[in-house]
Amino acid sequence: MPAADQKTSNQERYKHNSNQRDQVTNFLHEEHILVGVEAASWQEVLTLLANQLYKSGYVRESYLQAVQDREHQFPTGLRTAEVAVALPHTEKEHVLKPAVAIAILKHPVIFGEMGTEDQTVPVEIVFMLSIRDPDEQVIWLSRLVSTFQLKGFLSLLKSSPDAAAGYQHLLDALEFIRLAEEED
């Protein structure tokens, strides 16, 4: 590539980077990361996370009941290679702003397994999604899901001593995924 083109491309890349960074920080907030959560049931975990999103104005009051109902009917527990996760979410009419709220559980909590009627998964990290427009949010959603596939990442996230550490691990992993996408 000629030097001039390279320079333009770097500038564009830089611009692109800062846009994406803004996008990540739009939906990922340290206040939505709960560490060392002790819960006896998935209902309890969902209540904690939904309340967190409600308190900070990301979801409507109706979100809690809606996300519980949906998880009951269509469970979202997922086995991964390392640490099982769950992705509770619900219809957009209960959502005000896009976000992800995360609970790192002290002890595994049983969730139903996504796509099954009666299988269960002992979940250790819960990512509650509030989504309004999947077309707009699909970039960060797919990056978030890609972090689950980074070797060691979920184990590292699980061991976060506090919300600040968890937040930083997530930012780093999302940035790594974004850079890997650019390499392609």
Partner 1 sequence: MAHKVILVSCVSGTATAETTAAKIRKIAAERKWDVSVKVAEFRKLKEAVPGCDVLVQIAPSDPTDYGIPKISGVPFLTGFELDETIETLDKIIKAESPKEPEKTD
Which residues of this protein are in contact with partner 1, per CB under 8 A?
Answer: 70, 73-74, 76, 78-81, 85, 87, 89, 91-92, 114-117, 129, 131, 134-135, 137-139, 141-142, 145-146, 148-149, 181, 184
Who's near 99: CB < 8 A, 6+ residues apart?
A: 27, 28, 29, 32, 53, 58, 129, 130
Residue whose CB is less far from partner 1, 129 or 163: 129
DSSP class of residue 21 equals H
Minimum distance from residue 162 beta carbon to partner 1 (Å)? 26
Residue whose CB is less far from partner 1, 61 or 135: 135
Residue whose CB is less far from partner 1, 81 or 164: 81
Minimum distance from residue 136 beta carbon to partner 1 (Å)? 10
Output the six-digit token pair for 119: 């299988």
Minimum distance from residue 142 beta carbon to partner 1 (Å)? 4
CA 17 – CA 40 distance, rounded (Å): 41
Which residues pair with residue 126 across a beta bridge? 86, 103
Residue whose CB is less far from partner 1, 78 or 103: 78
CA 141 – CA 154 distance, rounded (Å): 16
